């Protein structure tokens, strides 16, 4: 059995870092493991223009532990009013690597999101011209649609027509959770990729109700069936370059999760690459991990692959029951239970 795993240093292509004390609490976990991350713009208020994105980037850089080498790749939050000029400004800054489409009401801090895709025409035209990728939270928000069907309906109603309307636009279908999404991406035109989270690879929806309600496994899109989970593993096993690592690590204080109306989001930055290693080992596809974690995403974003390495050892450890978080507590994925791989060394 492999005892040590050396890996080109990975990147996280979908991450929520929050702000202020919360940012300071979670950022060191990511900067220790990952060289870069695509940083989600769903702050309150959201990061809807270049000035806000650049200021947020500075706050992230100031929150880094001394000596850390980590590059935040910023994103813009699209609204009904995002102009083509704003996209040009974002692109010219050199610090913004994608624009995020949150259907209004789909998830945490998405109230200011897009109400009708037709309103995005000026922004999408500009993004296409500048080759700035569109990052999509792929769920319809129609309350009539079953919560487990929202991703599949989004493909038919929004994503497929969008991909056809803008054939040159590069699109990342974020945190895919269903067989339908995997099939869509696999059969899509060039320029369409997807990120996959650890929780959707580890768990099916039964886990939400195992012995009682499990708020710390509640995220959006919600966990799906075992057949869907198996479907997510197929492109990873095949080394499909259209599927790459994006944790969607989304911290919320314990009190906000263990509540009558709990927030959606799973925190996984404390052990992200370790958990992916565990999954790939369980599936006997460990040799595929480096492409998924450290290469295909960089290639899609047209950024250089990292040249340094991290090393993991096969030595189980258990994360604590919680970490300190913004005056409260943060319950991490796999809290108090063993994870098969441990981070041994990382460059910074």
Q: How far is CA 57 from CA 23, 83, 96, 237, 311, in A?
A: 11, 21, 10, 35, 28
Q: Give whichever of 71 and 177 is closer to Zn ion, judged by the CB atom.
A: 177
Q: Is 248 among the residues that bind Zn ion (CB under 5 A)?
A: yes
33 preceded by a cis bond (ω within 30 of 0)? no
Assigned token pair, 235 = 């492109």
Assess whether 248 carries a catalytic annotation: yes
The residue within the footprint of ligand NCD, chosen from 12, 151, 228, 248 (CB under 6 A), is 248
Distances 179 to 233, 265, 269 between C-alpha atoms, Å: 10, 21, 25
DSSP code at position 293 = I
250 binds ligand NCD (CB under 6 A): yes
Of 12, 228, 248, 326, which residue is the catalytic one? 248
| Distance (Å) of CA 184 to CA 178, 219, 229, 331 | 10, 22, 15, 34
Our CB check for ligand NCD shows the closer of 113 and 291 to be: 113
**Interface with ligand NCD in residues 109-148 (CB under 6 A):** 137
Site for ligand NCD in 201-230 (CB under 6 A): 219-220
Smallest distance, ligand NCD to C-beta of residue 138, A? 10
Question: Which one of 108, 126, 195, 290 is in contact with ligand NCD (CB under 6 A)?
Answer: 108
Alpha-carbon distances, residue 211 vs 185, 207, 208, 345 (angstroms)? 35, 9, 9, 37
Q: How far is the CB of 108 from ligand NCD (least distance, A)?
A: 3
* Residue whose CB is less far from ligand NCD, 91 or 216: 216
- Phi, psi at residue 44, to the nearest 5°? -120, 110
Q: Which residues bind ligand NCD (CB under 6 A)?
A: 16, 42, 107-108, 137, 219-220, 248, 250, 264-265
Q: Which residues bind Zn ion (CB under 5 A)?
A: 248
* Catalytic (active-site) positions: 248
């Amino acid at each position: 059995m492999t005892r040590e795993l050396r890996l080109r240093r990975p990147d996280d292509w979908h991450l929520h870092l929050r702000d202020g004390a919360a940012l300071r609490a979670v950022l060191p976990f990511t900067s220790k493991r990952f060289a870069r991350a695509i940083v989600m713009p769903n702050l309150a208020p959201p990061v809807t223009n270049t000035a806000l994105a650049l200021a947020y980037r500075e706050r992230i850089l100031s929150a880094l532990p001394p000596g850390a080498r980590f590059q935040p790749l910023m994103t813009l939050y699209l609204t009904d009013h995002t102009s083509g000029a704003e996209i040009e400004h974002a692109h010219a800054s050199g610090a913004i690597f994608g624009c995020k489409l949150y259907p209004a009401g789909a998830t945490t801090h998405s109230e200011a999101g897009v109400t009708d895709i037709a309103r995005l025409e000026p922004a999408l035209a500009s993004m296409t011209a500048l080759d700035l990728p569109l990052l999509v939270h792929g769920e319809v928000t129609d309350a009539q649609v079953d919560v487990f069907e929202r991703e599949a309906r989004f493909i038919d109603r929004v994503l497929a027509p969008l991909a056809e309307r803008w054939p040159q636009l590069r699109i990342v279908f974020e945190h895919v959770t269903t067989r339908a999404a995997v099939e869509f991406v696999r059969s899509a035109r060039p320029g369409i990729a997807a990120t996959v989270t650890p929780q959707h690879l580890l768990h099916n929806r039964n886990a939400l109700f195992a012995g009682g309600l499990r708020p710390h496994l509640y995220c959006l899109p919600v966990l799906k069936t075992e057949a869907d989970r198996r479907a997510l593993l197929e492109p990873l096993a095949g080394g499909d370059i259209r599927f790459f690592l994006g944790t969607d690590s989304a911290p919320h204080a314990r009190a906000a999760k263990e509540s009558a109306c709990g927030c959606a989001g799973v925190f996984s930055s404390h052990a992200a690459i370790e958990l992916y290693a565990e999954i790939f080992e369980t599936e006997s596809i460990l040799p595929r991990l480096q492409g998924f974690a450290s290469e295909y995403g960089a290639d899609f974003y047209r950024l250089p692959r990292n040249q340094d390495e991290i090393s993991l050892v096969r030595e189980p450890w258990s994360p604590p029951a919680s970490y300190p978080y913004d005056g409260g507590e943060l319950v991490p994925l796999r809290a108090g239970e063993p994870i098969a791989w441990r981070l041994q060394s990382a460059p910074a």
